[in-house]
């Protein structure tokens, strides 16, 4: 079956056509139009601007996803507004699309609305079923694109707005093990980057600056690491970095500007060391808590998801930690426990950050969950069934989003 996914929860407008067969996926197109440059001067996503930009981009992006889909072009990655490859190809016909899936939250309300309204309109005009997808779930489903998922698995979802550890017992069967009690991991990166005046978005910039730094140069706290639960807290870490900077570099931190109006700067090597040490503090907590959960629930796989999972340093360190764990070296709280076979899975970089391919995959599972009869890949004139299982109104599912923008 072919699914058209649509995503507009934050600052990327994305559409993707995914071919799903027996739980295996082929991404035919994944077009992402990023607005990062637009929001950079504000140090964060401005909802008004985002909504306007989504509105401008959504139809061209959908159009292009359909065109690239037929050419088997996957949209050309991050900035990927078509690179002309296979442009002469016929585009996917709408009869070939079996269903639509759209992110309904969590996210920025004005931004979400553009994607949701577009998807509803297309579904209505095309008379295709539409599935509502939770953005965080979709991030987890990004792992299904290239890997075979085995259960139980533990998923670490880390992004600008979220830090959650979930136990996954099957597609769509989750248990929240823990979450951040204050700031999300990605938000902490953004705020620390702001204090260090290295720009926005913080994650990739801190990672880059940290490459030449020594992660043991400075000691920052590892919040909640010693607590026997799976919760996180990053607000305090952010504050302690701030105090450290105020103590160590008063001329830089003072009022933001030097006496004669010039901005004082931290020495580049020290800056790298601070970034590396800060990053290490965040990763230590994320990795150790995830491994603890993996052991406690005897999972077979650890899945990384969300924008922060795009951080290569984190992937590397997590891989090392999982290897150690496999070899039976369980670190300081191991009581000679048996080696456990755990596999670490993470999506390709382009499926870590916001994208619609993951939304389409999540839509497929949502369709399965709702017991929709799976239409075969439309061949020629075969018009897929419009009725979907648990729904009264022909494929329409009523979307309810609560005040936290979670689906209720």
Partner 1 sequence: MKIYKTKSEKETLELGRRLAETMRGGEVVALRGDLGAGKTVLARGIARGLGIKKPITSPTFVLMKIYPVKGHGKIKNLVHVDAYRLEGGASAETIGIADYVGRADTVCLIEWAKRIKDCLPKNIWQVDLKAGETEDERVVEVKK
Residue 338, classed as helix, strand or coil, is: coil
Residue 292 contacts by C-beta under 8 Å, 6 or more apart in sequence?
Answer: 230, 333
Region from 36-44, 73-81, 210-218, 333-341 binding partner 1, contact rule CB under 8 A: 36-44
Region from 61-69, 146-154, 181-189, 351-359 binding partner 1, contact rule CB under 8 A: 181-189
Residue 146: Cβ within 10 Å count: 13
Q: Angle 355-371-393 (CA atoms, 0-180°, nearest 5)?
A: 85
Strands 24-34 and 301-305: unpaired
Q: Which of 7, 67, 137, 187 binds partner 1 (CB under 8 A)?
A: 187
Sites for partner 1 among residues 334-393 (CB under 8 A): none
Instruction: Determine, following the binding rule CB under 8 A, whether residue 47 of this chain makes contact with partner 1.
Output: yes
| Cα gap 205→190, rounded to integer Å | 9
Residue 312 burial class via C-beta count within 10 angstroms: exposed 0-12, middle 13-18, buried 19 and up: exposed
Q: Which of 40, 227, 229, 239 binds partner 1 (CB under 8 A)?
A: 239
Contact assessment for residue 49 and residue 25, using Cβ atoms and an 8 Å cutoff: no
Q: Which of 22, 260, 327, 404 binds partner 1 (CB under 8 A)?
A: 404
Instruction: Determine, following the binding rule CB under 8 A, whether residue 134 of this chain makes contact with partner 1.
Output: no
Residues written for the chain? 408
Q: Least distance (Å) from partner 1 to the CB of residue 234? A: 9
C-beta of 75 vs 105, nearer to partner 1: 105
Contact assessment for residue 103 and residue 6, using Cβ atoms and an 8 Å cutoff: yes
CA 219 from centroid of its chain's CA atoms = 29
| Cα gap 142→346, rounded to integer Å | 8
Contact assessment for residue 71 and residue 87, using Cβ atoms and an 8 Å cutoff: yes
Backbone angles phi and psi of 315, in degrees to 5? -60, -45
Q: Which of 36, 44, 95, 199 binds partner 1 (CB under 8 A)?
A: 44
C-beta of 75 vs 107, nearer to partner 1: 107
Q: In the stretch 139-168, what mask flags binding to partner 1 with x, by CB under 8 A?
A: ---------------------xxx------
Backbone angles phi and psi of 191, in degrees to 5? -70, -40
| Cα gap 85→71, rounded to integer Å | 8
Region from 41-49, 70-78, 290-298, 342-350 binding partner 1, contact rule CB under 8 A: 41-49
Region from 148-156, 264-272, 342-350, 399-407 binding partner 1, contact rule CB under 8 A: 399-407
Q: Which of 21, 26, 48, 150 binds partner 1 (CB under 8 A)?
A: 48
Q: Least distance (Å) from partner 1 to the CB of residue 189? A: 12
Q: Least distance (Å) from partner 1 to the CB of residue 227? A: 14
- Specify the DSSP element, H or E, that contains 225: none
Q: Which of 18, 195, 276, 294 binds partner 1 (CB under 8 A)?
A: 195
C-beta of 94 vs 181, nearer to partner 1: 181
C-beta of 159 vs 290, nearer to partner 1: 159
| Cα gap 95→97, rounded to integer Å | 5
C-beta of 75 vs 202, nearer to partner 1: 202
Instruction: Determine, following the binding rule CB under 8 A, whether residue 42 of this chain makes contact with partner 1.
Output: yes
Examine residue 314 and say whether the peptide bond preceding it is cis (omega within 30 degrees of 0): no
Residue 379 contacts by C-beta under 8 Å, 6 or more apart in sequence?
Answer: none
Instruction: Determine, following the binding rule CB under 8 A, whether residue 193 of this chain makes contact with partner 1.
Output: no
Size of interface with partner 1, in residues (CB under 8 A): 35
Instruction: Determine, following the binding rule CB under 8 A, whether residue 184 of this chain makes contact with partner 1.
Output: yes
**Which residues contact partner 1 by CB under 8 A?**
42-48, 51, 106-110, 160-162, 179-184, 187, 191, 194-195, 231, 235, 238-239, 242-243, 403-405
């Amino acid at each position: 079956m072919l699914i058209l996914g649509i995503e507009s929860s934050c600052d990327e407008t994305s559409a993707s056509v995914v071919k799903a067969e027996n739980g295996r996926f082929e991404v035919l197109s994944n077009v992402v139009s990023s607005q990062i440059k637009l929001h950079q001067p504000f140090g964060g996503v401005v909802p008004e601007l985002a909504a306007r930009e989504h509105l401008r981009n959504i139809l061209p992006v959908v159009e292009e996803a359909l065109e690239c889909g037929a050419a088997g072009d996957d949209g050309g990655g991050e900035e990927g507004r078509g690179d002309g490859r296979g442009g002469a190809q016929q585009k996917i016909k709408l009869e070939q699309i079996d269903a639509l899936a759209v992110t309904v939250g969590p996210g920025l309300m004005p931004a979400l609305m553009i994607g949701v309204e577009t998807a509803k309109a297309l579904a209505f005009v095309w008379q295709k079923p539409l599935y509502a997808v939770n953005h965080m779930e979709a991030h987890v489903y990004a792992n299904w694109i290239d890997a075979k998922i085995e259960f139980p698995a533990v998923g670490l979802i880390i992004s600008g707005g979220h830090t959650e550890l979930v136990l996954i017992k099957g597609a769509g069967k989750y248990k929240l093990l823990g979450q951040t009690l204050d700031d999300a991991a990605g938000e902490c990166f953004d705020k620390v980057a702001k204090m260090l005046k290295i720009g926005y978005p913080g994650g990739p910039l801190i990672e880059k600056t940290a490459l030449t730094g020594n992660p043991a140069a400075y000691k920052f706290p590892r919040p909640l690491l010693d607590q026997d639960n799976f919760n996180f807290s990053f607000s305090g870490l952010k504050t302690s970095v701030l105090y450290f900077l105020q103590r160590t570099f008063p001329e830089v931190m003072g009022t933001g500007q030097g006496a004669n109006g010039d901005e004082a700067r931290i020495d580049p090597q020290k800056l790298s060391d601070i970034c590396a040490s800060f990053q290490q503090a965040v990763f230590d907590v994320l990795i150790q808590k995830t491994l603890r959960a993996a052991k406690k629930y005897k999972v077979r796989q650890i899945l990384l998801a969300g924008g922060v999972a795009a951080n290569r340093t984190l992937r590397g360190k997590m891989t090392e930690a999982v290897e150690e764990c496999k070899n039976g070296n369980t670190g300081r709280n191991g009581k000679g426990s048996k080696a456990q076979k755990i596999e670490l899975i993470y999506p390709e970089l382009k499926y870590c950050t916001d994208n619609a391919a993951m939304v389409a995959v999540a839509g497929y599972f949502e369709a399965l969950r709702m017991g929709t009869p799976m239409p075969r890949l439309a061949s020629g004139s075969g018009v897929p069934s419009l009725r979907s299982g648990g729904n009264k109104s022909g494929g329409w599912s009523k979307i309810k989003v609560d005040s936290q923008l979670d689906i209720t």
